[in-house]
């Protein structure tokens, strides 16, 4: 890879698992299983390249409205990877953090998430945020209510602290696979100046080289944050 500016924080909207599977005449669950494998591969590569924070959208608040069989299959996948195959996640050498309201998840899954965070808390290679039952609008409403309940006025920075991502730096780059061009309620406040990258590649087929291309594309962009070129202000 040529000399590049690396994003510190990348978000992934891992879309296209179901379609990837259906095109292969396989059930959607097959796509979700391939999706987790690919998540491990792509996160590993991102951290190897030097990215410090990765945030994955593993389950949106709206995903819970899918047919119960599909929701159950996703829960089963969480049970497997946060539970008996947890070593596969821990091998990444990064700290895990859960973002979202996990209360509707099965209790054993919630428990294994607590263990995953505890077991990885001293890991140094980076931070992997897993968004589960996460929705940005819900997050913003919750933060607003927290400020109101505390009788506090907020500014941009103190409001950000009340969000579920707390004091984490905002994502520099969000990559969405699967061909749709929208954020689907992902990190709406945090993404105000995030560079967005959309690809038609379905998530299970998104490769290490695709990640590098997205980063190269990011690196070639000029981030002005509403300012003009060359200004130091």
Catalogue the active-site residues: 15, 63
Q: Could you tell me which of 101, 97, 109, 100 has the C-alpha nearest to residue 73?
A: 109
Q: CA-to-CA distance for 209 and 214, rounded, in angstroms? A: 9
Among 4, 6, 19, 191, binds ligand FPP (CB under 6 A): 19
DSSP code at position 163: S
| Beta bridge pairs of residue 57 | 13, 131
- 16 binding ligand FPP? (CB under 6 A): yes
Find the shortest distance in angstroms from Cβ 215 to ligand FPP: 20
| Residues 48-67, interacting with ligand FPP (CB under 6 A) | 58, 63
Query: Which of the stretches 14-22, 46-54, 162-170, 214-222 binds ligand FPP when contact is defined by CB under 6 A?
Result: 14-22
Cα–Cα distance list, 8 to 41, 138, 174, 223 (Å): 18, 26, 11, 14
81 binds ligand FPP per the rule CB under 6 A: yes
Among 35, 126, 135, 171, binds ligand FPP (CB under 6 A): 35
CB 168, CB 144: distance < 8 Å: no
Give CA angle at 205 (199, 207), nearest 5°. Answer: 80
Which stretch in 32-40, 44-52, 138-146, 207-215 sits in contact with ligand FPP by CB under 6 A?
Answer: 32-40
Residues within window 105-144 making contact with ligand FPP, judged by CB under 6 A: 130
| Both tokens assigned to 31 | 């796509």
Distance in Å, CB of 186 to ligand FPP, minimum: 11
Nearest of 32, 56, 36, 6 to residue 215 by alpha carbon: 6
Cβ proximity to ligand FPP: between 116 and 215 the closer is: 116
Asked whether position 206 contacts ligand FPP by CB under 6 A, the answer is no
Contact pick of 7, 11, 29, 32 for ligand FPP (by CB under 6 A): 32
């Amino acid at each position: 890879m040529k000399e590049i500016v690396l994003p510190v924080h990348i978000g992934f909207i891992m879309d296209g698992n179901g379609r990837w599977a259906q095109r292969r005449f396989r059930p959607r669950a097959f796509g979700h299983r391939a999706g987790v494998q690919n998540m491990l591969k792509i996160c590993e590569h991102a951290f190897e390249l030097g990215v410090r924070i990765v945030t994955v959208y593993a389950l949106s608040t709206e995903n819970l409205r899918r047919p119960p069989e599909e929701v159950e299959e996703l829960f089963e996948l969480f049970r497997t990877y946060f539970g008996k195959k947890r070593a596969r996640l821990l091998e990444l050498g990064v700290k895990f953090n859960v973002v979202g309201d996990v209360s509707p998840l099965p209790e054993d899954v919630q428990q294994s998430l607590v263990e995953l965070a505890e077991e990885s808390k001293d890991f140094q290679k980076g931070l992997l945020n897993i968004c589960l039952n996460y929705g940005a609008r819900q997050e913003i409403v919750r933060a607003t209510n927290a400020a109101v309940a505390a009788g506090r006025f907020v500014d941009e920075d103190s409001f950000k602290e009340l969000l579920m991502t707390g004091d984490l730096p905002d994502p520099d780059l969000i990559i969405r696979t699967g061909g749709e061009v929208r954020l689907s309620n992902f990190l709406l406040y945090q993404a105000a100046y995030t560079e967005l990258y959309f690809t038609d590649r379905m998530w299970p087929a998104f490769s290490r080289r695709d990640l590098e291309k997205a980063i190269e594309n990011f690196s070639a962009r000029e981030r002005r944050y509403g300012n003009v070129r060359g200004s130091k202000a």
